[in-house]
Amino acid sequence: MSFKKLILLVLPLVLSTFLMAQSKNDTQLWLGVSVKKKLYKGFVGTFQYRARKTDNISTFKGSYYYFTLEKKLNKTFTIETNYRLAVIDNSLYHRYALGIEAQVKANHNKLIFRPMVQYQKQASSNDIETSYNSKTYFRPRLMWKNDFISKLEFYAYLEPFYKIDNNINVNWWQNSIGFKYDLSKNVKLNPYFIWQPDFTHKSPATNYILGFDLEFNFK
């Protein structure tokens, strides 16, 4: 696939983001880079840095550092642990998570279910993945992937956020669509769009997020 065609695929995501943004809503831009490396005895480690711009992409709102360790148990199941350090307005926020992933394949399609529990003692009002009312969340994510086109993998997922330490209920909902394009053997470009609706009508805004990640994968 040519770079021109790739731009034509990304452009509708950009336009839809700005068209959907309204006065009480927020359009955000997330930019990230990650490095994945196979480690000892089947473990895989990933480091990711991500910067966020909020307030309709006018304000820099934090740097986020992700450290992930995962191990494939068999063809179906993978266990994953994750630590995230958020640096927002000169404050530090530590988040921890543990999950297990199950996947089934059919031709060029994958269906992946990943339940995860996350804990964060301190909360940032800017981050829907945390809350002042709850420290612990259960995040069951359902994802579909398709790699029918050479060098291109499409994906979409749905992910509710259940707060589980204070009146168990769905507190947030996150939906995403995107694709990964092979720039070279070990490098992928991942443009995506995330819709975080005002599900409970308690948040100040619905978020429309346009993101770009550059991924390096070393075996």
How much is the pLDDT for 172?
A: 80
How much is the pLDDT for 158?
A: 96
Q: Which domain holds residue 22?
A: 3-218
Q: In whole angstroms, what is the distance from residue 184 CA to residue 161 CA?
A: 35
| Strand ranges in the chain using DSSP code E only, listed in sequence order | 26-38, 43-54, 59-72, 77-88, 91-106, 109-119, 136-146, 152-163, 169-184, 187-196, 207-218
How much is the pLDDT for 178?
A: 97
Long-range CB contacts for residues 56-61, cutoff 8 Å, separation at least 24: 56/21, 56/26, 56/27, 57/27, 57/28, 57/29, 61/88, 61/89, 61/126
How much is the pLDDT for 206?
A: 87
Give the residues of the chain that fall short of pLDDT 50.
3, 14, 17-22
Task: Give me the CATH number covering residue 130.
Answer: 2.40.160.40
Q: In whole angstroms, what is the distance from residue 46 CA to residue 32 CA?
A: 13
Number of structural domains found in the chain: 1
Q: How far is CA 187 from the centre of its chain?
A: 18
CA dihedral (60, 61, 62, 63) positive or negative: negative
Q: Which of 65, 22, 34, 77 is nearest to 190 (CA)?
A: 34
Q: In whole angstroms, what is the distance from residue 218 CA to residue 46 CA?
A: 10
